[in-house]
Chain A
Amino acid sequence: MILASAQQLPMASGDEFVAPGSEIFWLPFIGEGDWAITEQMIWGGVSVILICAALIMLTRNVSIVPSKGQFLFEGFYNFARNSIARDMIGSKHFMRFVPFLFALFTLLLVNNWFGILPPVMNPTYGRIGFPIAAALVVYVIYHWVGIKRYGIKGYFAHMVPDGLPGWIKPAILVLEVITYFITRPLTLALRLFGNMFAGHILIVLFVSAAAYFLTQGVVFKLLAIPTFAMAGVMWLFEALIQALQAYVFTLLAASYIAGAVAEDH
């Protein structure tokens, strides 16, 4: 049942090849229609359980002289802590946001890698609802942090950099308000969604094309080999892109928080 994503491959049974479209992301698991529980939801929940179990196991027996697992985990944690949080937010305020950023990074990394890992082979964040929720959390947090620090009036005043001539300030304020309230959450959600969506479609396209070629003549059967190899190449490429997108999402979340708490612009 969970492997329905594999069975749903548009294996063109007839003569004509049907390219995969956005329908390959619609995988209802329980129920149907608007209130269906989709496979993505199940895997999203499973990812949380997996992460919790892994983190509890890795941090249960911490010692001064780290074991191999602890050493690797510390490297991973330090990456989120130092390379993302500290470098973007600055050493004064960053510690407050490390738990959030680390959780975000881990969640996105695992969920994105679901897109290339059997038996899942389906990036959770390829459904637009998931990236919107993630972007919404970031959106609320950076506004909350900024307003808490500067007050509502001060927060808007803070958006305009100092030292501008007076007549240009209203125009900059309008631009900054659009950036803060519309462009940032929109691009944050759409970037993650678009990458997961396009990457998954690309893999499915190559695999289903290879499967389609196998049903055709001898020449096409030979063509199936490079096509399937290309799916393998895309699989590797996706592994890179999915890790990069988890990193980019967290990096941008950190930079938006940094923009909200920064001393000067």
Chain B
Amino acid sequence: MTGTISLVGYGLATIGPAIAVGLIFAAYINGVARQPEARPLLQPIAILGFALAEALAIFGLVLFFINN
């Protein structure tokens, strides 16, 4: 079996952004549950935060391919 350890590294690196995305949507759901009228206000903020957190995982992917 062959491969590079950087693949495992990338897998580990996604844990951080995954937790971050989970936290962001948890906060968003919390906010909407407490104040349903705030939904249109919160939605772009949540998606924006999700996109920014997700960018870190994408960086990891790109670095993995650069490394290969």
Name A residues whose Cβ lies closer than 8 Å to a Cβ of B. Answer: 22, 83-84, 87-88, 187, 190-191, 193-195, 197-198, 244, 247-248, 251-252, 255
Q: Does B51 contact A (CB under 8 A)?
A: yes
Asked if residues B61 and A251 are in contact (CB atoms below 8 Å), the reply is no
Q: If the complex has contacts A22-B65, A248-B51, A252-B51, are A190 and B58 also in contact, measured as CB distance less than 8 A?
A: yes
Q: Which residue of A83, A190, A193, A252 contacts B48 across the interface (Cβ within 8 Å)?
A: A252
Asked if residues B61 and A198 are in contact (CB atoms below 8 Å), the reply is yes
Pairs A-B, 3 closest by C-beta atoms: A194-B58, A248-B51, A187-B55
Asked if residues B51 and A194 are in contact (CB atoms below 8 Å), the reply is no
User: What's the minimum C-beta distance from A137 to chain B, rounded to whole angstroms?
Assistant: 18
User: What's the minimum C-beta distance from A179 to chain B, rounded to whole angstroms?
Assistant: 11
Q: How far apart are the CA atoms of A251 and B43 in the complex, in Å?
A: 11
Question: How many residues of chain B get a CB closer than 8 Å to chain A's CBs?
Answer: 15
Asked if residues A255 and B55 are in contact (CB atoms below 8 Å), the reply is no
Q: How far apart are the CA atoms of A48 and B45 in the complex, in Å?
A: 30
B residues 36-54 in Cβ contact with A at 8 Å? 40, 44, 47-48, 50-52, 54
User: What's the minimum C-beta distance from B31 to chain A, rounded to whole angstroms?
Assistant: 16
A-B contact count (CB 8 A): 41
Q: Which residue of A187, A194, A195, A248 contacts B47 across the interface (Cβ within 8 Å)?
A: A248
Asked if residues A251 and B65 are in contact (CB atoms below 8 Å), the reply is no
User: What's the minimum C-beta distance from A255 to chain B, rounded to whole angstroms?
Assistant: 7
Residues of B within 8 A of A191 (CB): 51, 54-55, 58
Q: Which residue of B51, B57, B62 contacts A251 across the interface (Cβ within 8 Å)?
A: B51
Residues of A within 8 A of B40 (CB): 83, 87
Q: How far apart are the CA atoms of A190 and B44 in the complex, in Å?
A: 20
Asked if residues A195 and B44 are in contact (CB atoms below 8 Å), the reply is no
Return the chain A residue nearest B43 by Cβ: A83
Asked if residues B44 and A88 are in contact (CB atoms below 8 Å), the reply is yes
Q: How far apart are the CA atoms of A193 and B65 in the complex, in Å?
A: 13
Asked if residues A251 and B55 are in contact (CB atoms below 8 Å), the reply is no
Asked if residues B48 and A255 are in contact (CB atoms below 8 Å), the reply is yes
Asked if residues A251 and B58 are in contact (CB atoms below 8 Å), the reply is no
Q: How far apart are the CA atoms of A195 and B62 in the complex, in Å?
A: 11
Residues of B within 8 A of A22 (CB): 65
User: What's the minimum C-beta distance from A106 to chain B, rounded to whole angstroms?
Assistant: 18
Return the chain B residue nearest A198 by Cβ: B61
Given contact pairs A194-B58, A195-B58, A248-B51, enumerate 5 new A-B contacts (beta carbons under 8 Å): A187-B52, A190-B59, A190-B62, A194-B57, A248-B48
Q: How far apart are the CA atoms of A118 and B52 in the complex, in Å?
A: 31
